Amino acid sequence: MSDGFRDEELLAATVADLIGDVHHVAVGNASPIPATAALLARARGGGHPYVSLLGSSRHTFFTDGGVELFDCAGQGRIDVFFLSGGQIDGEANINLVSIGDHDRPTARFPGSFGSGYLYYVVPKVILFRTEHSRRTLVPHVDFISAPGMSDANVYRTGGPMCLITNRCLFDFDRARRRFCLASLHPGHSLNEVVEHTGFEFDRPAEVPLTPAPTATTLRLLREVVAPEVAEVYPQFAAHVFGVTRAA
């Protein structure tokens, strides 16, 4: 909790700002903060953009889960998606497979699912990782589940827009294949971010603070979004908002 708002509320408000004016935002499994952000963007827009939450019966038109999600993305009908990884490196590559030698890994993750495909076809992919450490943000991932960039002769309509963590927001420069520090979250410092980031990144001379959520945003989160997100993420909604069930 910071200055009357929780860290999760700051992250959701920041991601909602990043979503911008688009038609369709899709959110995969195990993504409560992106789901909250997408629903906040819709609440702000009076029902726009359309939001698809995988695993929801109330906030999606998909009837066949990931199959329709992939078809929709391939047709250019998803504007924003979210990806994370056990590791993320300075070129926005993500690792959802394993750490260490591939034949004898020291850790295994759930797997890539459709991350590689969606990374190629969704125009705005927002990377997120709520553990900002040298364990998770590394110089080079041990296994590339989904590449941040491709060779010039590869046709690709999608890719990384930014990376948001519990400490800061990075923009991604696709031309330079490199992150740039965009803002520091309240209560965090540049030295802290440098200390806990395993890859090199650019930064402006003066790094701004991530704007705190406004009173209007907090009201929407707590009164409108919280009951909606509780349908898919009841434990998250109870912990962050004190909401025990969907309205």
DSSP-derived 3-state class of residue 157? coil
pLDDT < 50 regions, the chain: 246-247
| Per-residue pLDDT, 64 | 77
Rounded to two decimals, what is the model's pTM?
A: 0.94
| Per-residue pLDDT, 247 | 47
In this structure, which long-range contacts are made by residues 167-173, counting pairs with CB atoms below 8 Å and at least 24 apart in sequence?
167/132, 167/192, 167/193, 167/196, 168/132, 168/193, 168/210, 169/14, 169/210, 170/201, 172/92, 172/127, 172/148, 173/202
| Per-residue pLDDT, 102 | 84
- CATH T-level fold of 7-241: Glutaconate Coenzyme A-transferase (3.40.1080)
Query: Hey, what are 145's tokens?
Result: 């589940």
* Phi and psi, residue 116, nearest 5°: -60, -45
| Per-residue pLDDT, 201 | 98
Number of residues assigned to the chain = 247
| Per-residue pLDDT, 105 | 92
Map out the domains of the chain as residue ranges.
7-241
C-alpha distances in Å from residue 231, one per residue of 18, 31, 103, 193, 243? 24, 13, 39, 34, 10
